[in-house]
Amino acid sequence: MKEQFEKFREEPFEKFPKIGRLNKEMIITEKIDGINAQIYFNKFGVMSVGSKNRWIYPEGWSGRAKGCDKFGFAQWAYTNSHNLLDFLGEGRHYGEWAGKGIQRNYGLDEKRFYLFNCGRWSDRDIPMSLIKAGLRVISVLYIGYYSMDQINKTMEYLQVSGSFINCFPRPEGVIIFHTGTRTTAKVTFDFDKGKWSSQTNEESK
């Protein structure tokens, strides 16, 4: 019995996670239909480039074979690496690579990288050299206390106005960042259970 008790005491204790308050601020941004991507700079300024699940590289770079890139994102990042380091700095920078030849393409003739961190940057902060290269910040649609009614109103507005990218008539939906729980969620016009999926299905009949 004593041995069992000693063994039990040696088990690591796991604290119950803190429960966040729902009645906190949320930030609603447009969800872009592209590919998830990231740029990482270490403390020495060395860059790594990734898609959603793996590191990627420009095709032909250091003997890399075809297929090691993802819609040309790595090639774009390495081409603009010096300017990106000067602007972004050390750290991991997530975003969406979208535009010509990717998913909805948004009627664009070029590809763009939309940074997710709208709390740190806006398009006004980006130097013109990187604007010309295709760097942007995701569009903020609403900031205020959490409310499903407000989320639905934002979806209605987006459906009428179209995407903030090139006024494209088929926006994908929205991303909600909840500041109290530090979590994100999405609501989309397609493949989303509830009001929006049924409305899309009815319109397609």
Rounded Cα distance, 106 and 142, in Å: 22
Residue 177 forms part of a structural domain: yes
Return the ∠ at Cα 154 (arms to 107 and 35), rounded to 5°: 40
Read off the pLDDT of residues 87-124 as tens digits, 9 standing for 90 and up.
Answer: 999 999 999 999 999 999 999 999 999 999 999 999 99
Read off the pLDDT of residues 10-25 as tens digits, 9 standing for 90 and up.
Answer: 678 889 988 889 899 9
**Torsion of the alpha carbons at 76, 79, 164 and 175, rounded to the nearest 10:** 60
Domain count for the chain, please give it. Answer: 1
Residue 51 forms part of a structural domain: yes
Q: Domain span at residue 200?
A: 34-204
Residue 158 forms part of a structural domain: yes
Residue 85 forms part of a structural domain: yes
The pTM assigned to this predicted structure is 0.84
Residue 40 forms part of a structural domain: yes
